[in-house]
Chains A and B, each alone.
Chain A
Amino acid sequence: MSSSPPDVSAVLARGRLGTWAVVFFVIAAAAPLTVVAGGATTGYAVTGVRGIPVAYLLVAAVLALFSVGYVAMSRRIVNAGAFYTYITRGLGRPAGVGAAFVAVVGYNAMQIGLYGGFGSVLAGFLADRGMQVPWWLCAYAAWAIVAVLGVLRIDLNGKVLAVMLIAEVVVALVYDAVMVTHPADGGVTVDTLSPSHLLAAGIGAALVTAITGFVGFEGTVVFSEETKDPRRTVPRATYLAVAITGLLYGASAWAMSVATGPDKIVDAATADGTDLMFNLVSPHLGSELVTIGRLLFITSLFAALLSFHHTVARYLFALGRERVLPAALGRTSRRTGAPKTGSIIQSTLAALVLAGYVLAGADPIMHLFFWVTVTGGLGVLILMTVTSLAVVVFFARTPNDDGLWRTRLAPGLATLALGAILVVTVEQFDTLLGVPTTSPLRWWIPASYGITATVGLAFALLLRTLRPDVYQAIGLGAQSATAPLRTPEPVHQAAR
């Protein structure tokens, strides 16, 4: 053949993702402006902890440590259901199913909680413009759009996400600059960045609030097979995502405390809620810039809603593919290829929870947005802790030349650090919820994950006896079809 067409590698390289594309996809799920304007402010208000900024920075450092082992493992195991796959490979199939169930609950909580934020913020935005719409109507409007986009398998376009994300970061940085250059009476202080807060009462609550803000970054490894060079792209994207969001969250939460004065930040956050940041900058900025910020806050909430909706639907799809959950979940819509059943289940669950909140007349920001997303954050914290442990065990059993740091030290230290955060979080869950220490909720919410994990574990053991073929395929996700034929390869060799 004289004029040879492009070779296999060249064809497969088309449309592969580069580092920044992956960063944009995952940070969109983390929704920076949602975290800065919504998570940090509500965190101050509900927990009453001043050390929110230092909590963000500490958590970023811990997550960077976690990422070392996590991305090392992603080079060995390519699978879209990262956490539970890794846990399956490290700690066995029953632990994997337990983790999968925890993940489904946790990501659902993240998604559903965001409706509270979206509904309330949009309602507030409209109210400022003379339109009185109840928060739940705004939430249901978003719900309807997400439900439709979910079954049509429409995701936000990568370019749209990139533009939105850059705009969000720019707006947050401009606001930060405005707040820091207009400090409260005491001038610019770094009080809220002081590590001494890490020993203060209620820091567990602050730390899990911070973790909640990062949820989504773990999605980088899902793209392994889609990237130009999985060995480099995925680690780089992961560290970049953690660094960018960590610095932005820490800086913005700190800037707010500078503008109000560190001693008044909690009171200001309690009074203004998710408006705090906008209220702080509006005297010093043109109203257009404030409106743009508010609009971006709403769009970032929506991007996060859609992203977590797809995450849940895909988790259910992967479990259906493995037949751990009914096989119907593993089917896709014929025309759109959407994991339809999972998508519908997620939407139905969200609709029911929203209805419950409306009927109970609960507060959308505190009881739905904060409580429920932080509960989701707790689920992800549990998953990350167990995943770190799984990484250590996996590499201890698998011959490798990845070095002591990546396979033992970093994941080992991450397990300890995340475990410590988990312990103080559960201990201080009452502070986190802002309820009295005697409230049964403070035990019920953490315990619900224990129950979920136990159910998963028991279910896996049941499968081992009743459906050994299904048991064998646990953790294989899309690859489960190959289970009866061959031991799946630990690494899928992506064509270069």
Chain B
Amino acid sequence: MVITPPGADDRPTVHLDPIPATVRHDVVRGGPHRGPKLLADEFFLLAHDDRSGRPRLHDAATNYGVAAALLGELAAAGSISFDRGRLWVLDHRPPQDWLQHRVLARLVAEPQHTATRTWLAFLAETVPEQVAERLWQAGKVAPQQRRRRLLRTSVVYVPTDTNVAAWSWARLSTHLREYKHLQPFDLALMGIATSCGLDQFILDGAGPSVFANLRRQLQAAPQPMRELLADLDTAIGSAVLSHRT
């Protein structure tokens, strides 16, 4: 049940063999992390305070950002790709990660929905909680009940190690301020963060040339990544325009 878009033949051939994690350039090693880093996990950590676990962003941005990051994970693994606002499944083989597996299964199960924005909206509703769970399983966060107004309680995922939680923020901030060329993983993470409005936070106080350099790098990003980011921008912009309480 591959979603075959019109004009599928003119797209570049995508390499379907699973790439061993050791040579995958979407997996960044180093820093205080154990194990491979996952885009949605890193975005989730970036979007929440590294000590208290409180959100740094408004809900719509966090949810859409996490959704986009999860699609980004599948794209980086070669399972899916994006073109002209559509999302296609390229490889049905189940990914090892349970959450990626679950999302891919859903993409395959409902091929009638092809618009990237439809999937972003669906995943924004359903996956942020699951990404938090995945982080919990990896021991990077721990859930805590917080009492909010009146009787309502909410769960906050508090990072277990601030160094782990803040690592992406520190790395992105430093690399960009030093005008370094971002690796694909970091470029995707920073692109999603920028669409969600976290760029000003990550690059707080940086000069305009730093932002200009970031824009240039994002403009030169691979086409599928730019596609995903454009749809993320649109989704968040529309959420702002049609917001009602």
Contact = CB atoms under 8 A, between A and B. Distances in A.
Interface in A302-350: 314, 317-318, 321, 330-339
B209 interface: no
A61 B229 CA distance: 44
Contact of B241 (A12, A158, A478): A478
Contact of A12 (B122, B240, B243, B244): B122
Nearest to B239: A337
Given A8-B110, A318-B241, A482 B61 contact: no
A344 to B, nearest CB: 15
A153 B243 CA distance: 8
B240 A339 contact: yes
A66 to B, nearest CB: 22
B121 A317 contact: no
A25 interface: yes
Contact of B122 (A11, A318, A480, A486): A11
B84 interface: yes
Given A225-B238, A318-B241, A493 B115 contact: yes
A140 interface: no
A321 B64 CA distance: 18
Interface string B218-244: 000001001101110110111111111
Contacts of B117: 492
A314 B105 CA distance: 38
Nearest to A489: B85
What is the interface residue range for chain A against chain B?
A: 35 or more
Contacts of B230: 481-482, 484-485
Interface centre among B126, B238, B242, B244 (most CB of A within 10 A): B244
Contacts of A484: 230
Interface stretch (B145-153, B157-165, B193-201): B193-201
For A7, A81, A480, A485, which residue has the most chain B Cβ atoms within 10 angstroms? Answer: A485
B242 A225 contact: yes
A409 B99 CA distance: 54
B113 interface: yes
Contacts of A321: 237
A311 B195 CA distance: 23
Contact of A223 (B56, B59, B109, B242): B242
A486 B82 CA distance: 12
A482 B126 CA distance: 25
A105 interface: no
Given A80-B242, A337-B58, 9 more contacts: A8-B119, A12-B121, A12-B122, A330-B237, A334-B56, A338-B240, A478-B238, A489-B85, A495-B115
